A = this chain, B = another copy of it.
Amino acid sequence: MARLTGGDPSLLRRINSAVVLHALRATDCATLTEVTRVTGLSRPTVEGVVEGLIEAGLVVETAAEEGAARRQGRPARRFRFRAEAGHLLGLEIGVHRVAALLADLDGRVIGARAGDVDERVDADERLERLDAAIGELLDTAGVPRGSLRAVGVGTPGIVEADGTVRLGTALPGWTGLGLGERLGRSFKCPVLVENDANAAVVAEHWKGAARETDDVVFVLAGLSPGAGSLIGGRLHRGYGGAAGEIGALHLLGREATPETLLSTTDEPLHPLDEQAVAAVFAQAREGDQRALAAMDRFIHRLVHDVAALVLALDPELVVIGGWAAGLDGVLEPLRRELARYCLRPPRVALSHLGEAAVATGAVRLALDHVEEQLFAVEGTVTARR
C-alpha cells in the first residue's frame, strides 16, 4: 500500500508525472483534454506535468493534424511520448553466436547484428566479437552509446543477481566470470544479465508463442536442454538462480548422455556440435533408419525431461525452442507422451521467435528496468517482473 503522506508534494508530483507518461505512452499522441480525462487529474496539473516532461526530453508536441485544424479553427495541441529519447540493447552471448538488438523506449527493434563464434574461443575473444557487433550496430543506426538507458544480456549458465556467472559449462571461461561488471565497463547505463532460457521465456511471453498465457515453460532444446519458466507472469529463477537446469539430470547423472543417444555411429557426438545434430535430423527426414532411431532416442529423452518439468510446475503452455531447424518433428511425440505422463497435459507449441528469442528477451528485461525507473514511484511498483 502506498503511503500517500499529504506532506510530500515531490512524491505526488512524481506519481502524477508517471501517470501522465503512462497515458501518453499508451497512445500515439493525445491532447491535454484527453490526458485529463484518462488520468483523472486536473487540467492545470496535467499542464504542469507535461511541461516538465517536455523539459526532460520525454514528451514532445506534435504537429497538429490538418483536418482537426480546419474543423476547429484553432487546433488543440497534441503531445506524444518520445520513444527515441533513449535506447536499449538486448544481447545474446551463446555457444555458437553473439547477437545484439537495438530498441527504442517503446521496445521497438530498430537494428540487429549477429555473428558466428567458434564454441572453443575464450571469454575475452567472445566478448570482443560481441563488442564489435555492438559497435557496428550503433554506428549503422546512428545512436550514440550515451543514449543507451539499459542493456539486457542472455547467456547460458546460472547467473547471480549481480551478473556473475556462477556456473556455465557450455562456454569456455564462463564459470566465475563477472559478466555484468565486465560489460558494465563499456556502458554508462545498467547491465542486466540473465540465463538464456529465462530471457527466451520472457521474449515468447512478450511477443511470441506465449503472449496469451502467464504460466509457461520455455524449453531451450539442445544437447543439454535448459528451461525458463513464468509463473503468474513472473520469471521463476529459483532460490539460487538454477531453476529449469533440467539437462543436469543426464549431464551429471549416470544415464546415457544425449550425445550418445543422438549418434548414428558407435561414437557419441561432441556435446556442443550442433551441426552434427542438424545432420542427424536431416538424415532422419530422408528416411535413414539409424538416424530415425537416434531421433527416437533423443525425443524420448526430451519428452522425459519436459515431463519432469511439467509435473513439477504444471504450466498452461510449453514452448519448444533452441534448435531452429528439425524440432517440428518433436511436437507430436511430445504431445502424445505428455498426455500419457501428465495428469493435465499442457499445450505444446514451437517458439515463434526462433533464434531471436534470447536477444529479444534481453531487450524486454532492459525495457522492464527502464519502465521501473520512468513509471515507478515509491509504493507503486510495476508488476512485470
Contact = CB atoms under 8 A, between A and B. Distances in A.
Interface of A: 1-2, 4, 158, 166-167, 213, 215, 227, 229, 231, 236-246, 248-249, 252-253, 304, 307-309, 311-316, 340-344, 346, 379-380
A312 B309 CA distance: 6
Nearest to A15: B1
B245 A343 contact: yes
A249 B262 CA distance: 23
Closest 8 CB pairs of A and B: A238-B314, A308-B308, A312-B312, A243-B314, A240-B344, A239-B316, A215-B239, A242-B314
Contacts of A307: 249, 253
A301 to B, nearest CB: 13
A248 B213 CA distance: 24
Nearest to A216: B239
Nearest to A309: B312
B314 A241 contact: yes
B252 A313 contact: no
Given A215-B239, A236-B231, A343-B245, A312 B308 contact: yes
Contacts of A253: 307, 340-341
Contacts of A231: 231, 236
Contact of A227 (B215, B241, B246, B312): B312
- Most interface-central of A167, A236, A248, A312 (chain B CB within 10 A): A312
Given A243-B314, A308-B308, A313-B312, A343 B248 contact: yes
